[in-house]
Amino acid sequence: RPFKRLLLTGAAGNLGQVLRERLKPWTDVVRLSDIGDLGAAAPGEEIAACDLADKAAVYEMLEGVDAVLHFGGRSLEAPFEQLMHANIQGTYNLYEGVHKRGIRRVIYASSSHAVGYYPTTERIDADSPLRPDGLYGLTKCFGESLSRYYFDRFGVETVCLRIGSCFPEPRNARMLATFLSYEDFVELVRCALFTPRVGRTIVYGVSANRIDWWDNSKAGHLGFAAHDSADEFAARFPFNGAWPAADDAGNFQGGPFILAGPQYE
């Protein structure tokens, strides 16, 4: 197999559970990490439970790892202290350990909420300035900037996946634009892992949806081509092509996340 050991953080989460199965053809061992329940290790798996905010534990968990898939952390808007613990302290610890261990590549689960304050009428690409739509989105901007710094300073490569909405099926009208199918997600991760040189790349994680907010032309070197589309689910949602959609909030790409922040203050 191409890799000896891949580390997957957030392995007990939604996307972590998808990758837990799908990484196996690519690696002799997948090391699984989370603060949540990971169950027992199956053949070809190692369990390394750890809080990302625990620097010594993170350093320990990175021993003998070829590449890291960093999916652990808070995945929704939350009080700043919680976001800081998991996404800011945690992602810093991870990069510091990656650099000190000489690990060459990270696949970082960023989010479209790093740019959620763009209007739904605008098409953006990897070079569009960051416009976070809340504290959660801000922590993703921090992770993306960390990856920039660790590449420029130390040569650690990262592919930042600005994931849209990765679920089995779209859940509302906004997801007709942001949906990323599990199959397309796994293909994107494969491209991010196997492209020989990625430097520090930003790519939007989105299927081939008709409503198209995100231009991936600057990530063409990854060779990612989406095959699925949210369009087959369009009839389910009361959406006439004009935002805001009846079941969603605002004219911003971040949708309901725009309104989520202040409730925590």
Choose among ligand 15L, ligand NAI, none what residue 178 binds, the Cβ cut-off being 5 to 8 Å by kind: ligand 15L
Q: Which residue has the tokens 């169950």?
A: 39
Q: Which of 27, 31, 61, 71 is the binder for ligand NAI (CB under 6 A)?
A: 71
Residue nearest to ligand 15L (CB): 165
Letters for 13-42 (x = contact with ligand NAI by CB under 6 A, - = none) are xxxx-----------------xxx------
Q: Which of 20, 70, 113, 162 is the binder for ligand 15L (CB under 6 A)?
A: 113
Task: Tell me if 70 contacts ligand 15L by CB under 6 A.
Answer: no
Q: Which residue in 92, 95, 108, 136 is the catalytic one?
A: 136
Question: 162 near 112, Cβ under 8 Å?
Answer: yes
DSSP string, the chain: --EEEEEEETTTSHHHHHHHHHTGGGEEEEEEE-SS---PPPTTEEE----TT-HHHHHHHTTT-SEEEE--S--S---HHHHIIIIIIHHHHHHHHHHHHT--EEEEEEEGGGSTTSBTT--B-TTSPP---SHHHHHHHHHHHHHHHHHHHH--EEEEEEE-EESSS--STTHHHHEE-HHHHHHHHHHHHHSS--SEEEEEE----SS--B--GGGGGG-------GGGGGGGS---SSSSPTTS--SBTTTTHHHHSGGG-
Letters for 90-129 (x = contact with ligand NAI by CB under 6 A, - = none) are x------------------x-x------------------
- Angle made by CA atoms 136, 142, 148, in degrees to the nearest 5: 145
Query: Please, what is the minimum distance in Å from the beta carbon of residue 210 to ligand 15L?
Result: 18
Query: Please, what is the minimum distance in Å from the beta carbon of residue 24 to ligand 15L?
Result: 24
Q: Which of 178, 201, 207, 209 is the binder for ligand 15L (CB under 6 A)?
A: 178
Separation of alpha carbons 230 and 53, rounded Å: 36
Residue closer to ligand 15L, measured from CB, 13 or 97: 13
Q: Which of 165, 181, 201, 209 is the binder for ligand 15L (CB under 6 A)?
A: 165
Query: Please, what is the minimum distance in Å from the beta carbon of residue 230 to ligand NAI?
Result: 13
Choose among ligand 15L, ligand NAI, none what residue 10 binds, the Cβ cut-off being 5 to 8 Å by kind: ligand NAI
Q: Which of 27, 87, 91, 111 is the binder for ligand 15L (CB under 6 A)?
A: 111
Task: Say whether 136 is catalytic.
Answer: yes
Active-site annotation, residues? 136
Binding site for ligand NAI (CB under 6 A): 10, 12-16, 34-36, 51-53, 71-75, 85-86, 90, 109, 111, 163, 165-166
